[in-house]
């Protein structure tokens, strides 16, 4: 089995070379009816459907099956799947596979909103583990083994443990292997949202993948760190506790019945890219990364914070919030992954041995950004956001009750002690600040007010601009 092969890509190329006549969907007819810009329209020539010779994602037996088998071989899983609805659908499917109405599931508090959406859809009862802040990145960190032990001792009936590894910011410390071994000794599966770690399979200098460490199900956003299109993701299963057929069942229910062949081809290509990645590529990546970091240090006043994942760099500027830095960089055409109160996050390309990049241009733009600083408008010097209460917690109102609750809009100032009826989620990174069913604390409001003042964007903030929040009525709380 040659991991460099791209069976689906080659199948699409062969099919296109036949100059087929389209008397089928999609309606753009190989792009001929499209009025998109030329560069986009050209890709539509490969936007086929489940035609003879092109296989079917939900009953794969040809080129797609071969491509997924190569993916499984590379990541050493029992079975791997292509996802065309992003890691969101992978998180939904893996949680559906372990729990249902009323079941207990242990979840890392700084998980992505899709994990909590899965909890709501299944009706499971979440037990939340809030990790300590990672002082290096000033962000919520990784769950520790002792916290998982405490949670499982308190809730031995839990159907699974759901973790995020690495964090959005590239933090991968802690003892994930110890957690997995402890859970497995109790016959509890460990599900890992490894959205930002599809490249970990490459090995050092990158952290170890959760798959290598023994996790039962792992979801990868291939589009985040590999050369795949947006929404293109993977799911891997290697478990004695979870049947891959059950995962497949939920994926065919939750994913589109008309999957994009262009997306799937990009997944096939991204897998081959990683499979071909070698020591020469690693050395070249490290060289380019070092050149970029050293140039920033020598020619700008930005502070560079390195994390466990070499693809991630945090950029700070004394006296400025991340939102101000983001605005500064964007004025010169440089777009970071996200901004927070302290910094912006850069996600570097996974350069291989043939990659080049315009170092001089990048540094010139960053230098120009520094040159337009207006010190008078800075307000980022004294930021001190409160951290969440560390430890184990449950929701004040469980998902099973959500369908029956009555709601009302009240001012944010009046909301302390009330139960939130709609999650408030700074986006990115998509981690809820206030989760549906949680009780509002003073620390929540302090953080919320600061984030709003700094210009953070939110999901679920329907009336935030007029200072209102949706809560359960007093009768419903009772």
User: At how many degrees (to 10) do helices 359-371 and 279-299 cross?
Assistant: 30
Kindly tell me the burial class for residue 333, based on how many C-beta atoms sit within 10 Å of its own C-beta (0-12, 13-18, 19 or more).
exposed
- pLDDT tens across 223-255, in order? 999 999 999 999 999 999 999 999 999 999 999
Which residue in 165, 55, 35 sits closest to 112, CA to CA? 165
Give the Cα separation of 195 and 231 in Å (integer): 11
Give the Cα separation of 146 and 131 in Å (integer): 11
Give the Cα separation of 457 and 299 in Å (integer): 31
Q: What is the mean pLDDT of residues 12-22?
A: 95
Peptide bond into 389 cis (omega under 30): no
Q: What is the mean pLDDT of residues 155-165?
A: 98
Kindly tell me the burial class for residue 227, based on how many C-beta atoms sit within 10 Å of its own C-beta (0-12, 13-18, 19 or more).
middle
Three-state DSSP state, 304? strand
Question: pLDDT at residue 386 above 80?
Answer: no
Give the Cα separation of 285 and 355 in Å (integer): 8
At 206, give phi and psi (nearest 5°): -85, 155
- What does pTM read for this prediction? 0.94
Give the Cα separation of 211 and 233 in Å (integer): 15
Q: What is the pLDDT of residue 376?
A: 42
Q: Average model confidence (pLDDT) for the chain?
A: 93
- What percent of the chain is modeled with pLDDT above 70? 96
Question: pLDDT at residue 454 above 90?
Answer: no
At 231, give phi and psi (nearest 5°): 90, -15
Question: 196 near 164, Cβ under 8 Å?
Answer: no
Question: pLDDT at residue 272 above 70?
Answer: yes
Q: What is the pLDDT of residue 379?
A: 52
Per-residue confidence band for 385, with pLDDT thresholds at 50, 70 and 90: low
Q: What is the pLDDT of residue 378?
A: 53
Per-residue confidence band for 447, with pLDDT thresholds at 50, 70 and 90: confident
- pLDDT tens across 389-438, in order? 778 999 999 888 887 889 999 999 999 999 999 999 888 888 888 989 99
Q: What is the mean pLDDT of residues 69-86?
A: 98
Kindly tell me the burial class for residue 325, based on how many C-beta atoms sit within 10 Å of its own C-beta (0-12, 13-18, 19 or more).
buried
Q: What is the pLDDT of residue 388?
A: 62
Question: 109 near 388, Cβ under 8 Å?
Answer: yes
Q: Which helix (H) or strand (E) holds 7?
A: helix 7-17
Q: What is the pLDDT of residue 401?
A: 86
Q: What is the pLDDT of residue 451?
A: 85
Of residues 474 and 388, more confidence is placed in 474
Question: pLDDT at residue 78 above 60?
Answer: yes
Sequential DSSP letters for 90-102: HHHHHHHTT--TT
């Amino acid at each position: 089995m040659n991991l460099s092969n791209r069976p689906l890509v080659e199948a699409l190329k062969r099919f296109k070379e036949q100059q087929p006549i389209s008397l089928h969907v999609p309606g753009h007819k190989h792009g001929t009816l499209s009025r998109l810009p030329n560069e986009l329209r050209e890709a539509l020539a490969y936007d086929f459907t489940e035609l003879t010779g092109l296989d079917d994602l939900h009953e794969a037996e040809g080129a797609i099956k071969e491509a997924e088998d190569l993916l499984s071989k590379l990541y050493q899983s029992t079975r791997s799947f292509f996802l065309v609805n992003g890691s969101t659908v992978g998180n939904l499917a893996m949680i559906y596979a372990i729990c249902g109405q009323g079941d207990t599931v242990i979840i890392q508090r700084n998980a992505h909103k899709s994990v909590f959406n899965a909890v709501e859809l299944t009706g499971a009862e979440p037990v939340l583990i809030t990790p300590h802040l990672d002082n290096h990145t000033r962000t919520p960190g990784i769950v520790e083994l002792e916290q998982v032990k405490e949670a499982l001792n308190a809730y031995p009936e839990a159907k699974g443990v759901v973790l995020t590894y690495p964090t959005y910011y590239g933090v991968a410390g802690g003892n994930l292997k110890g957690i997995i071994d402890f859970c497995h000794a109790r016959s509890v599966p460990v599900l890992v949202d490894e959205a930002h770690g599809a490249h970990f399979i490459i090995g050092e200098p990158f952290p170890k993948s959760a798959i290598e460490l023994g996790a039962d199900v792992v979801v990868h956003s291939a589009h985040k760190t590999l050369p795949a299109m947006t929404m293109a993701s993977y799911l891997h299963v290697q478990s004695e506790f979870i049947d891959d057929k059950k995962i497949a069942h939920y994926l065919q229910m939750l994913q589109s019945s008309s999957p994009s062949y262009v997306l799937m081809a990009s997944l096939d290509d991204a897998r081959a890219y990683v499979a071909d990645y070698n020591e020469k590529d690693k050395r070249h990546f490290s060289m380019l990364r070092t050149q970029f970091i050293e140039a920033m240090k020598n020619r700008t006043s930005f502070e560079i914070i390195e994390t466990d994942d070499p693809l991630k760099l945090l950029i700070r500027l004394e006296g400025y919030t991340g939102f101000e830095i983001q605005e500064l960089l964007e004025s010169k055409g440089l777009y970071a992954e996200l901004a927070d109160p302290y910094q912006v996050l850069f996600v570097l390309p996974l350069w291989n041995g043939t990659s080049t990049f315009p170092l001089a241009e990048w540094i010139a733009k960053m230098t120009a950004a520094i040159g337009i600083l207006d010190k008078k408008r800075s307000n980022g010097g004294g930021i001190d956001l409160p951290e969440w209460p560390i430890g184990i917690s449950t929701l004040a109102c469980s998902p099973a009750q959500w369908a029956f609750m009555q709601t009302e809009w009240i001012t944010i100032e009046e909301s302390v002690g009330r139960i939130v009826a709609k999650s408030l989620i700074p986006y990115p990174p998509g981690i809820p600040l206030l989760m549906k069913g949680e009780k509002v604390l003073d620390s929540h409001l302090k953080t919320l007010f600061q984030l709003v003042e700094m210009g953070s964007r939110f999901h679920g903030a329907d009336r935030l601009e007029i200072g209102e929040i949706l809560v359960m009525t007093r009768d419903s709380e009772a």
